[in-house]
Amino acid sequence: MDCGEGVQRQVLAHGIGLGKDMTILVTHLHGDHVSGLLGLLQTMSLAQRRKPLDIVGPPKLLKWLKVTSDLLHIGLTFPIRFTQAKPGSLLRTEGFRIRAAKALHSVEAYAYLVEERARPGVFYPEKAKRLGVPEGKLWSKLQKGRPVKVDGRIIHPSTVTGPPRTGRRIGYSGDTRPSPGLARFFSGCDLLIFDSTFSAKDGDKARERMHSTCVEAAQLASRARVKRLALTHFSARYTSPSSLVREARKIFPSTVAAADGLTLDVDYPSE
Ligand SMILES: [Zn+2]
């Protein structure tokens, strides 16, 4: 999500891998969100990436990529599949669905929601045995949600598994003012990463520059009933984000400050 300056070094430092299946979501065309993208693409080419790379972003992103990679003679070793951001469902991969909503910033900007696909329900081996399904390949088929044939009978996975389990949902605001539309968009998500450029006392600056304060982020998280909030994009005027986190926690206790290399485990909704 977004590619700030030096992103390729962060990708390497955190062992993400340059050849993996990857979808890059760019929220808007401001330098601190996009200037690292070319470096990342170049590093991927040096590593001889072959797999196509999905990039989602505002329409001008593709134009910028084409012009700059032409001018700088960047020959990519892999194809780019570009998806133009617009409100609604954008992309379905094997494991995820990606949706976008309009963000309220000084330039065209989008917020994203990454939704993990629902997993098949819990498998009950006793039920499968009772129906005469032999252990092995057929069990694993049923576990993956596919019907099987035993002695001419079709056994549906629903007869040997529990209800499907909901996938996890992660939201990312990019730079934005808060809005009721965004609260609806992020409703109930398991982790929300939200713009928190300013402290509440600098609210006028947040309005002027089309960003959010930590308190506005917390209010939106509370309205949207998200499970957890990670504040990000802190202005350099604050020496540490801890005071912003404290302000936010008064409204939404389950708040942390995002930081380079921070790892958060996201639990499955009902577990
Ligand atoms: Zn911006």
In this structure, what CATH number is given to the domain that contains residue 245?
3.60.15.10
Distance CA 72, CA 70 (A): 6
Residue 209 and residue 96 share a domain: yes
Q: What pLDDT is recorded for position 110?
A: 98
Give distance in angstroms: CA of 236 to centre of ligand 1.
Answer: 14
Lowest mean pLDDT among 113-117, 118-122, 207-211, 238-242: 118-122
Q: What pLDDT is recorded for position 120?
A: 80
| Domain with 146 in it | 125-159
Residue 194 and residue 255 share a domain: yes
Q: Over range 100-126, report the average pLDDT.
A: 93
Q: What pLDDT is recorded for position 249?
A: 98
Residue 106 and residue 214 share a domain: yes
Residue 65 and residue 20 share a domain: yes
Residue 178 and residue 223 share a domain: yes
Residue 173 and residue 45 share a domain: no
The domain tally of the chain equals 3
Q: Over range 14-19, report the average pLDDT.
A: 88
The DSSP code sequence of 232-250 is E---TTSS-THHHHHHHHT
- In this predicted structure, the answer to whether residue 174 has a pLDDT above a threshold of 70 is yes
Residue 203 and residue 111 share a domain: yes
Tell me the CA distances in angstroms from 28 to 2, 3, 4, 24, 197, one per residue in order. 8, 10, 11, 12, 16
- In this predicted structure, the answer to whether residue 41 has a pLDDT above a threshold of 60 is yes
Q: How confident is the model at residue 246 (pLDDT cuts 50, 70, 90)?
A: very high
Q: Over range 226-243, report the average pLDDT.
A: 96
Q: What pLDDT is recorded for position 269?
A: 79
- In this predicted structure, the answer to whether residue 166 has a pLDDT above a threshold of 60 is yes
Q: What pLDDT is recorded for position 2?
A: 96
Q: Over range 99-115, report the average pLDDT.
A: 97
Residue 97 and residue 77 share a domain: no
Give distance in angstroms: CA of 109 to centre of ligand 1.
Answer: 8
Q: What pLDDT is recorded for position 94?
A: 81
Q: Over range 27-39, report the average pLDDT.
A: 95
Q: How confident is the model at residue 145 (pLDDT cuts 50, 70, 90)?
A: confident
- Among the candidates 61, 85, 109, a domain finishes at 85
Give distance in angstroms: CA of 95 to centre of ligand 1.
Answer: 29
In sequence order, the 6+-apart residues with CB closer than 8 A to the CB of 59 are: 84, 85
- In this predicted structure, the answer to whether residue 271 has a pLDDT above a threshold of 60 is no
Residue 250 and residue 191 share a domain: yes
Give distance in angstroms: CA of 235 to centre of ligand 1.
Answer: 12
The catalytically annotated residue of 2, 21, 32, 190 is 32
Distance CA 94, CA 268 (A): 18
Q: Over range 261-269, report the average pLDDT.
A: 90
Q: How confident is the model at residue 146 (pLDDT cuts 50, 70, 90)?
A: confident
Q: 2 catalytic, yes or no?
A: no
Q: What pLDDT is recorded for position 17?
A: 86
Residue 111 and residue 143 share a domain: no
Residue 102 and residue 215 share a domain: yes
Give distance in angstroms: CA of 31 to centre of ligand 1.
Answer: 8
- In this predicted structure, the answer to whether residue 86 has a pLDDT above a threshold of 70 is yes
Averaged pLDDT score across all residues of the chain: 93
In sequence order, the 6+-apart residues with CB closer than 8 A to the CB of 16 are: none
Give distance in angstroms: CA of 106 to centre of ligand 1.
Answer: 7
Q: Over range 20-44, report the average pLDDT.
A: 94
Q: What pLDDT is recorded for position 73?
A: 83
Residue 252 and residue 169 share a domain: yes
Q: What pLDDT is recorded for position 237?
A: 94
Q: Over range 233-248, report the average pLDDT.
A: 95
Phi, psi values for residue 221, rounded to 5°: -60, -40
